[in-house]
Structure 1
C-alpha cells in the first residue's frame, strides 16, 4: 500500500457539486489529507501498518497545538522541529482512495494502471485503513470510493510525504 500524506490547514471533498467530507481543524488547527493506493498483493495487515504509520508520523512541530500557527511549524529542513504526530494533537484525517498512486509511466506517456488493485480488492483495504485509524482514536472523514471527486486542500508548509506499508 502507498499513501501520500499532506499536512493541511483545510480540506474537503466534493462529489456531484455536494461536499461529502470536510476536515474540522478547529481544535487542532491542522489535519492530514491522505491519498491511499492499493496494489494486488496488499493485505489487511498492510492496511493496519499503514494506518499506524499515518497516525504516528511526526510532521507537526513540538509546541502546544494552539501555537502550531507559528512560523516554525515543523519545517522539513535539517533543523526540523517536527516532533508531534496526528495522534499527539488529535488532528483529523481525510482519507481518499487513489488508484493512480500505482501508475506505471516507464513506457511512453500514457500511464498503465496494471499495478493498481481492482475495486473489489482495494475498497475493503482502504476501509481497513480508515477502520484502523478510527480504532486508534482518529477522527476520520472519507471520500467516496470510485467516485469522480474534487479534492480541495490547503497544504501547510508545504509538507507532503510518501509512505509505503
Structure 2
C-alpha cells in the first residue's frame, strides 16, 4: 500500500506532483461549525482516528462529519461567519489526485494515519498537509481549476 506523509512545510509535495492525473482544485466556500479542543482527544473520521491537541479546531460539516485541524492551518483555511462557532472555508487552490488503489496518509503528528480507498481523492493543501476526501464529498465540496 502506498503511503504519503504530511511534511508540515508549504508548497506542493513532490510525491503528489509526480502522480499521474494530478489536478488543481479549490474547495468551495462552505459554512461549518467549529469548536476548539480543550484537551487532547481522538476524532473518529471516515478515514480513521485522528488525534487533536488542545487548541486544535474540530470542524463539523453540515453532514455531521468531523475532522480536527491544527490551529495554524485552521486560521489559514477558515474565517468567522457570524454566530459564535460558525466559520466559512476560504477557497484556496490545492492539488488533488483520484487514487486507483488503497493508500494511506500519515498526518503531521506522525501518529494519526488515514486510510484511503480506490476512488478517494488524495489532497495536498499546499501547506505541508495531506488529506483524503471520499469521491462523493469531493464532488460536493471542490471545483476543478484545470
Check whether TM > 0.5.
no
**TM-score, normalised by the number of residues in structure 1:** 0.26
Larger Rg: 1
Greater RCO, 1 or 2 (C-alpha within 8 Å, sep 6+): 1
